[in-house]
Amino acid sequence: MSDKVLMKGNEAIAEAAIIAGCRHYFGYPITPQTEVAAYMAKRMPKIGGTFLQAESEIAAINMVYGVASTGKRVMTSSSSPGISLKGEGLSYLAGADLPSLVINVQRGGPGLGGIQPSQSDYFQATKGAAHGDFHMLVLAPSSVQEMADLTVKGFDLADKYRMTAMVLADGTMGQMMEPVSLDYEIGEPIEKPWATTGTKMERPHNIVNSLFLEPDVLEKSNFERYERYSYIEENECMYEEYMMDDAEICVTAFGIAARVSKNAINEARKKGIKVGLIRPITLWPFPKAPYKKAADKVKEIISVELSMGQMIEDVRLASECKVPVTLCNRVGGMIPTPEQVLEAIEKAAKGGNK
Amino acid sequence: MVVFEKPKALADVQMHYCPGCTHGIVHRLVAEVIDELGIEGKTIGIAPVGCSVMAYNYFNCDMIEAAHGRAPAVATGVKRSDPENHIVFTYQGDGDLASIGMAETVHSAARNENITVIFINNAIYGMTGGQMAPTSLPGQVTQTSPYGRDTDACGFPIRVCEMLSTLDGPEYLERVTVNNVKNVKNAKKAIKKAFQNQIDGKGFSLVEVVSSCPTNWGMTPQDALKWIDEKMLPYYPLGVYKDRSAEKEEK
């Protein structure tokens, strides 16, 4: 095992990306993720890579589109308002089936919102980043170690499925420091025969494109993409279960909310309340199986979120509305305390949250 | 004996352009230049959104379709991916380059991004059926300026070469047209220089081609070419607006 180093979440993402073979980064300053850009600005020139501060989030994501077209690993990072600007590019990346990695270190919204942590871009990330039918692979770290791990994983999944992978973090994850091990085995880059790298006069020209004016052709491309999505839903779901074996109450949360929830669960266990946690690590594909199982044995599921209740809709669908699913939340940059979550757990134990 | 052949870099397919449109001429000039410089195998073209959106089908080099106005940003990514081995050009209309994509245009020029930009200025949105463009002339009647472009209400046309020439960044800016044989020859010279500059590592080279749109101008092809001389060129004078290497040599 390699030595651990103390790193900020944002820096762990940047270093992990470099280890994963990413040599092109394009970004635009926005709090609370600017450390990613600053780290890349320092490191990339020393290793023959490209760091470029783009004129806008829109330009940055289109530079990503350009490098992705040539088959190389490429990334951008931003925070909520900036991700909205990248929406156009995310749709084009999906339509052209290009792999890329995008980091969203979320902050409170809507509008300019605030600069404190939030999870209120869950809908945007998992359901509707922009126009058209498409998904991104959405990975939700809940430690600095996972910020790095899921960055490496994100590049692999993006290449494998020719999709954008998004690491959906929040301001806490970006800013906090924890010991990290960056010991990864990086495989050989996969072949990308579709890439536009010049024909070298050896093959017909490649075209990277998302325009299909014949509706039947466009329909077919959508159907094919969704077949790939179905395969991903069956094979790539990631989640963690914590003390769920004998649980009568289920707490569910991702990212920083899961960290807070674990503390509350430990306290509740001391009081003899049988409570556990389901923590989705992939938000798309959403891991339905653990909820389906939990719905047959728990009396309530509490969704702890830094939003007005976004993941809760997927939890209700996954548990098929067999048990009440209630919301325990703070928003606007506020974070639920372990006491607040414990209170919700105790109410559930006594007869249920309203 | 064949005396007039299609350039090898131009695909042998039917183009969708209207009769009398000058896109065909400019496509041909770009393809001839790619042939003459022997760079087809390393060239990657970026198509815009607009009439030339399907340019990706018309060139035999690798092609990428960009979002509206974003071609210079996409080109930046492609170029930086492998600066030694990629020759990158964008082909953009006036709405794409001078309206929705103005930020990408200005900043790629300011960075002296080592790419070639072919800019078609026909003072109108062709693909969507003839709306006012950022380069439509004062008083010009279009679908969205039915009483003529009112400069009090919607401002003045943008002269792209003049504006970019105020920047320290770009290497080469020239405005040409293709409404007669002499002008076509000049246009080809400029396009070739814009590609040669990239090969030589000199940086951002933009050729603005004042073009015609008979369909949306409501003219015959011949009248449209005359209108370029009579109306377009007085507002958009031809010439070299920046040529940094030549300026250096003079000093």
| pLDDT tens column, B88-104 | 999 999 999 999 999 99
Residue B150 DSSP code: -
User: Is A281 in the same domain as A246?
Assistant: yes
User: Of A239-243, A350-354, B66-70, B71-75, which range is least confident?
Assistant: A350-354
Tell me the two tokens of residue A188.
């050989």
User: Is A288 in the same domain as A346?
Assistant: yes
Local confidence band at B160 (pLDDT 50, 70, 90 cut-offs)? very high
A196: nearest CB among B54, B63, B76: B63
Q: Which residue has the tokens 């089908």?
A: B57
Residue B115 phi/psi, 5° resolution?
-135, 170
Local confidence band at A2 (pLDDT 50, 70, 90 cut-offs)? low
User: Is A289 in the same domain as A247?
Assistant: yes
Q: Tens digits of per-residue pLDDT, A141-191?
A: 999 999 999 999 999 999 999 999 999 999 999 999 999 999 999 988 999
In chain A, residues 249-308 whose CB comes closer than 8 Å to chain B: none
Q: Which of the residues A209, A212, A214, A221 would you substitute to probe the B interface, choosing the one with the greatest number of B C-beta atoms within 10 Å?
A: A209
| 3-state SS class at B205 | strand
Interface contacts (A, B; CB < 8 Å): 134
- Name, in order, each residue with C-beta under 8 angstroms of B191's C-beta and a sequence gap of 6 or more: B26, B29, B30, B33, B118, B207
In chain B, residues 56-95 whose CB comes closer than 8 Å to chain A: 56-57, 59-67, 70, 73-82, 85-87
Tell me the two tokens of residue B167.
């920047």
User: Is A152 in the same domain as A59?
Assistant: yes
What pLDDT sits at residue B1? 75
pLDDT at B62 over 60: yes
Tell me the two tokens of residue B40.
């087809």
ipTM at complex level: 0.96
pLDDT at B211 over 90: yes
pLDDT at A1 over 60: no
- Name, in order, each residue with C-beta under 8 angstroms of A222's C-beta and a sequence gap of 6 or more: A133
Separation between Cα atoms, residue A285 and residue A304, nearest integer Å: 19
Residue B10 phi/psi, 5° resolution?
-95, 125
What pLDDT sits at residue A175? 94
Q: Which residue has the tokens 């990248």?
A: A86
Q: Which residue has the tokens 């004016």?
A: A213
User: Is A284 in the same domain as A184?
Assistant: no
- Name, in order, each residue with C-beta under 8 angstroms of A348's C-beta and a sequence gap of 6 or more: A249, A275, A299, A300, A302, A326
Separation between Cα atoms, residue B161 and residue B107, nearest integer Å: 14
Q: Cα angle at A140 between A189 and A328, to 5 degrees?
A: 170
pLDDT at A209 over 90: yes
Is-cis flag, bond preceding A32, omega within 30? yes
Task: Show residues of chain B in contact with A50, CB under 8 Å.
Answer: 80
Q: Tens digits of per-residue pLDDT, A248-286?
A: 999 999 999 999 999 999 999 999 999 999 999 999 999
B65: nearest CB among A26, A52, A208: A208
- Name, in order, each residue with C-beta under 8 angstroms of A336's C-beta and a sequence gap of 6 or more: A257, A260, A304, A306, A328, A329, A330
Mean pLDDT for A116-125 is 98
User: Is A157 in the same domain as A291?
Assistant: no
Separation between Cα atoms, residue B176 and residue B185, nearest integer Å: 10
Contact B107 A69 (CB under 8 A): no
Check which CATH number belongs to the domain holding A26 and give it: 3.40.50.970
Classify strands A50-53 and A24-27 as parallel, antiparallel or unpaired.
parallel
A65: nearest CB among B41, B43, B74: B74
The sign of the dihedral angle between the CA atoms of B175, B177, B182, B188 is positive
Range of the domain at A134: 5-235
Q: Give rounded-to-5 percent helix, strand, coil for chain B.
A: 40, 20, 40
Of A235, A268, A297, which residue constitutes the final position of a domain? A235
Task: Show residues of chain B in contact with A72, CB under 8 Å.
Answer: 81
B77: nearest CB among A63, A198, A199: A63
B56: nearest CB among A60, A68, A207: A207
User: Is A250 in the same domain as A342?
Assistant: yes
Task: Show residues of chain A in contact with B46, CB under 8 Å.
Answer: 66
Mean pLDDT for B194-205 is 98
Whats the size of chain B, residue-wise?
251
Mean pLDDT for B196-210 is 98
User: Is A262 in the same domain as A221?
Assistant: no
Q: Which of the residues B59, B64, B92 would you substitute to probe the A interface, choosing the one with the greatest number of A C-beta atoms within 10 Å?
A: B64
Report the half-sphere exposure of B51 (CA within 13 A, side-chain side). Answer: 28
* Domain residue limits, chain B: 23-246
Chain A nearest C-alpha distance from B82 (Å): 9
pLDDT at B251 over 80: no
User: Is A125 in the same domain as A251?
Assistant: no
Contact A54 B73 (CB under 8 A): yes
Contact B104 A209 (CB under 8 A): no
Local confidence band at B115 (pLDDT 50, 70, 90 cut-offs)? very high
Task: Show residues of chain A in contact with B70, CB under 8 Å.
Answer: 58-59, 62, 65, 89
Short-list B152, B26, B163, B24, CA closest to B89: B26
Tell me the two tokens of residue B243.
């040529």
Separation between Cα atoms, residue A318 and residue A287, nearest integer Å: 8
Structural element, H or E, at residue B183: helix B181-199
Chain A nearest C-alpha distance from B58 (Å): 11
Contact B44 A88 (CB under 8 A): no
Q: Tens digits of per-residue pLDDT, B124-155?
A: 999 999 999 999 999 999 999 999 999 999 99
Of A208, A235, A262, which residue constitutes the final position of a domain? A235
* A285, A232 contact by CB (below 8 A): yes
User: Is A98 in the same domain as A225?
Assistant: yes
Tell me the two tokens of residue A120.
């209120």
Number of compact structural domains in chain A: 2
Alpha-helical (H) ranges within B82-180 are 94-95, 102-110, 151-154, 160-164
Separation between Cα atoms, residue B228 and residue A344, nearest integer Å: 74
Contact A199 B62 (CB under 8 A): yes
- Taking the CA atoms of residue A137, residue A141, residue A146 and residue A149 in that order, the dihedral angle to the nearest 10 degrees is 10
User: Is A261 in the same domain as A222?
Assistant: no
Of A181, A210, A235, which residue constitutes the final position of a domain? A235
The domain over range B23-246 is classified in CATH as 3.30.200.20: no
Mean pLDDT of chain B: 97
A69: nearest CB among B42, B64, B107: B64
Mean pLDDT of chain A: 97
Short-list A226, A243, A249, CA closest to A300: A249
What pLDDT sits at residue A187? 87
Contact A55 B104 (CB under 8 A): yes
Contact B81 A202 (CB under 8 A): no
Whats the size of chain A, residue-wise?
354
Q: Which of the residues B43, B74, B82, B99 would you substitute to probe the A interface, choosing the one with the greatest number of A C-beta atoms within 10 Å?
A: B74
Alpha-helical (H) ranges within chain A are 9-19, 34-43, 57-69, 80-95, 122-126, 144-161, 171-175, 215-235, 255-270, 289-295, 311-318, 338-350
Is-cis flag, bond preceding A285, omega within 30? yes
Nearest chain B residue to A59 by CA distance is: B73
What pLDDT sits at residue A34? 92
User: Is A184 in the same domain as A324?
Assistant: no
B67: nearest CB among A52, A92, A197: A92
Burial level of B23, CB count in 10 A (0-12/13-18/19+)? Answer: buried
What pLDDT sits at residue B4? 85
- Name, in order, each residue with C-beta under 8 angstroms of A28's C-beta and a sequence gap of 6 or more: A37, A53, A54, A55, A56, A57, A59, A60, A78, A82
Question: DSSP secondary structure string, A138-152?
Answer: EE--SSHHHHHHHHH
